[in-house]
Amino acid sequence: MSEEGHCEKLVGSLYQLLDGEVTEDQVEFLQEHLEECGACLERLGVEMHFTLLVRSRCRDDQDCPDQVLLNIKEALQAEITA
Ligand SMILES: [Zn+2]
């Protein structure tokens, strides 16, 4: 198994997700990977779940809280570069 490649893909997809540029398939991949990969779940799980939550709300309301997404991005950046 090449978990590392998957993890890199996940981080890339997560950034796309934050930019609102992912497809439903990618969201599914992200969710599945987080369920399978303890390392990513530990590292990105909180931000990821929060992001998905925000994005699903955005779709309903058409009222995307940009500041919330920005905060997640910053938290994520700090996590990754730490
Ligand atoms: Zn992973």
Q: DSSP readout, 5-47? A: HHHHHHHHHHHHHHTT---HHHHHHHHHHHHH-HHHHHHHHHH
Phi, psi angle pair for 29, to nearest 5° = -60, -45
Q: How far is the CA of 3 from the centre of ligand 1 (A)?
A: 6
Q: How far is the CA of 61 from the centre of ligand 1 (A)?
A: 31
Please, what are the averages of pLDDT over each run of 10 residues along the chain (82 residues)?
67 73 77 81 71 65 62 70 64
pTM equals: 0.49
Tokens of 37: 């990969």
Q: How far is the CA of 12 from the centre of ligand 1 (A)?
A: 12
Q: CA–CA separation, 11 vs 80, rounded Å? A: 9
The pLDDT value recorded for residue 1 is 47
